[in-house]
Amino acid sequence: MEHSSDDTGCPSFCHFADEKHPHKCPALGTCVDVSRQRSGKTKGSQCHPNYKGKLCQTLRLGQSAANPGKSCKHILESKDSEGDGEYWIDPEGKGNPLKVYCDMKTDGGGWLLVANFVLNSTSPPDWTAESSYRVIRNFANNKMGISVSALKELRSHLSFTQLRFHCSKKQGRTFHVTTVSNSTGEAVVEYFSGQKDVRPDSCGSFQRMEDDNSKLVIECESWSNDGKWGFNGGDVERRLYTGFARVPRSYPWNILDGSWYCDDWDHDPVSPGDFWKIYVR
- Average the pLDDT over 185-212 and give the result: 97
Contact 274/170 with Cβ under 8 angstroms?
yes
pLDDT of 53 > 50? The answer is yes
Of the candidate ranges 28-42, 99-113, 150-164, 217-231, the one whose mean pLDDT is the lowest: 28-42
- Average the pLDDT over 19-37 and give the result: 43
A 10 A CB-CB count for 89 gives 25
pLDDT of 267 > 90? The answer is no
pLDDT of 62 > 60? The answer is yes
Contact 81/87 with Cβ under 8 angstroms?
yes
Mean pLDDT of the chain: 86
- Average the pLDDT over 194-213 and give the result: 96
Contact 104/84 with Cβ under 8 angstroms?
yes
pLDDT band for position 44 (cuts 50, 70, 90): low
Pairwise CA distance, residues 169 & 118, whole Å: 10
Q: How far is CA 239 from CA 60, 182, 184, 234, 248, in A?
A: 37, 22, 19, 8, 16
pLDDT of 46 > 70? The answer is yes
Cβ partners under 8 Å of residue 3, min gap 6 = 11, 12, 13, 14, 34
pLDDT of 39 > 80? The answer is no
pLDDT of 25 > 90? The answer is no
pLDDT for 59 equals: 87
pLDDT band for position 31 (cuts 50, 70, 90): very low
pLDDT of 41 > 90? The answer is no
Cβ partners under 8 Å of residue 264, min gap 6 = 169, 172, 173, 251
pLDDT for 205 equals: 98
pLDDT band for position 137 (cuts 50, 70, 90): very high
Higher pLDDT, residue 247 or 168: 168
How many percent of the chain have pLDDT more than 90? 68
pLDDT for 250 equals: 81
pLDDT for 42 equals: 53
pLDDT of 55 > 90? The answer is no
Q: Which of 87, 131, 74 minimizes the C-alpha distance to 113?
A: 87
Domains in the chain: boundaries:
13-59, 60-280
pLDDT for 24 equals: 41
- Looking at this protein, which amino acid is placed at residue 197? D
Q: How far is CA 149 from CA 17, 56, 142, in A?
A: 43, 42, 21
- Looking at this protein, which amino acid is placed at residue 183? S
pLDDT for 248 equals: 79
pLDDT band for position 3 (cuts 50, 70, 90): very low
How many percent of the chain have pLDDT more than 70? 84
Third-level CATH fold of 60-280 = Gamma Fibrinogen; Chain A, domain 1 (3.90.215)
